[in-house]
Amino acid sequence: MPTAARLFAALGFAVVAFLASESFIRELPEGTNPGWFSEINAALGALTGWRVMGGLAGKGRVVAITSGLRTTVTMVVLALVLHSLYEMIRLSMKLRYGGPGEAVLGFFDLVLEYGQLMLTSWPVMVILLAGGTLAAWLTEWAGRRWN
């Protein structure tokens, strides 16, 4: 059911995902075409904000912080899996893998590679942690204000 808390969560985590994605693009190798990377991640942020954080609103500010971090981790894992899967399919269409087993291993290598690149980027981590906390607080505020 649509609520103000779900709307604020969707908007807040979409913004966090977009800003973190724009910062992450700077960490990618030179010449990498990001395409719709930031927009797709913003949609994932809106989806996880609506589904995860929106349902956890109204339990207090301290709980909101942990809920915001939970939502951020969910959003990041979904983005890593989605983009790694896309890249694995793209590479397999170019016949870069010897078979299906090698492609599956390549998928996990991509998840680890992108995850390590993200975790070692301080700007991305600050945006995710601070932005997720702020979005959670705004969601909690909206849940209390219009409940």
pLDDT along the chain (147 residues), means of 10: 91 98 92 92 97 88 92 97 95 92 95 94 96 96 86
Report the chain's terminal Cα–Cα distance, integer Å: 13
Confidence (pLDDT) at 45:
97
Confidence (pLDDT) at 10:
97
pTM (predicted TM-score): 0.92
Confidence (pLDDT) at 106:
94
Confidence (pLDDT) at 28:
87
Locate the domains of the chain by residue range: 4-145
Give CA 28 to chain center in angstroms: 16
- Provide the residue type at 119 as one letter: L
Backbone angles phi, psi at 44, to 5 degrees: -65, -40
Confidence (pLDDT) at 127:
97
Identify whether the C-beta of residue 83 lies closer than 8 Å to the C-beta of residue 76.
no
Angle ∠(142,22,39) on CA atoms, nearest 5? 65
Distance between CA atoms of residues 77 and 136, nearest Å: 18
Distance between CA atoms of residues 116 and 56, nearest Å: 29
